[in-house]
Amino acid sequence: MLKVKNIYKKYKQEEVLKGVDITVEKGDVVVVLGPSGSGKTTLLRCMNFLERADQGEMEFDTISIDMHKVSSKEIGKIRQKTAFVFQNYNLFQNKTALENVTTGLIVGRGIVKTKAVEIGMKALEKVGLADRASFYPSQLSGGQQQRVGIARAIAVEPDVILFDEPTSALDPELVGEVLAVIKQLAKEGKTMVIVTHEMKFAADVATNVVFMADGKIVEEGPPKEIFLRPKEERTKTFLRRILPQEEYNI
């Protein structure tokens, strides 16, 4: 469904991505793990062209593009097939929860307002926020704001949803409500790529786990293999630092 190959990205003299390949099949939940600075977020942003890779190729269904020389028209085609959920919500502060969901439908997809409102309300209901449709972001908790961000993503019915550390900006007591929504999407067979530090969540929802360090993919495989039988020493070191020893006997 979606394949990116040999992605390189440099900021000034710092090489952040060093030839990364990733494949996502329909229905996959690919979880990307790794220490801070490993290139996880940059990879995700390059996949949605929020950043332009210095080198790389993408195949998305029948679309094949050079990720560095990609045209605005090609980016538009990719974004019609994807949705991005940001770390810090990226909501319009002057718009209600419903308006935040419907704006992309009306402006980006050309859907008439009445239909967009119907779709938007269904999306908000799905994330448990139908009763907060008229609330502005300042009236919502962080977890509720992130759930609005997820509603905005699912409203456009994308082929792939990209999540960039969706709980990293939340207070600990609000993390669960956001993860519960993403788990439900996984149960429904939504195709997702998720950058996260939530290890238990990753083990529960992932069909494939990708471990990154220093701008490269060190190891990837099913969650049981990565969490219980990692092959690479770099992976083992990371997991020992992060996971309770009694829970995952690494």
Q: What is the pLDDT of residues 129-168, one digit of tens each?
A: 999 999 999 999 999 999 999 999 999 999 999 999 999 8
pLDDT of residue 244: 61
**Interior/surface letters 4-19, b for 16+ CB within 10 angstroms, e for the rest:** beebbbeeeeeebbee
- The pLDDT of 92-102, averaged and rounded, is 97
Gap between the Cα atoms of 136 and 155, Å rounded: 18
Bridge partners (DSSP) listed for residue 57:
5, 66
pLDDT value, residue 250? 40
Which of the four pLDDT bands, split at 50, 70 and 90, describes residue 23? very high
Element (H, E) at 164: strand 160-164
Q: Please check whether residue 247 lies inside any domain of the structure.
A: no
Residue 248 lies in a domain: no
Q: How confident is the model at residue 240, as a pLDDT?
A: 87
Provide the residue type at 101 as one letter: V
CATH assignment at residue 129: 3.40.50.300
Q: Is the pLDDT of residue 85 over 90?
A: yes
Nearest alpha-carbon partner for 218 in 1, 2, 19: 19
CA–CA distance, 65 with 169 (Å, rounded to integer): 33
Look at residue 65 and tell me whether its pLDDT is greater than 90.
Answer: yes
Q: Does some domain include residue 218?
A: yes
Q: Look at residue 243 and tell me whether its pLDDT is greater than 80.
A: no
Compute the average pLDDT of residues 205-221: 96
Q: Does any domain span residue 188? A: yes
> Structurally, how many domains does the chain consist of?
1
How many percent of the chain have pLDDT more than 70?
Answer: 97
Name the 3-class secondary structure at 62.
coil
pLDDT value at residue 246: 44
pLDDT, mean of residues 198-222: 95
Is 181 domain-assigned?
yes
Which residues constitute the domain of residue 155? 2-242
Share of the chain above pLDDT 90, in %: 88
Give domain status of residue 43, yes or no: yes
Residue 41: pLDDT band with limits 50, 70, 90 = very high
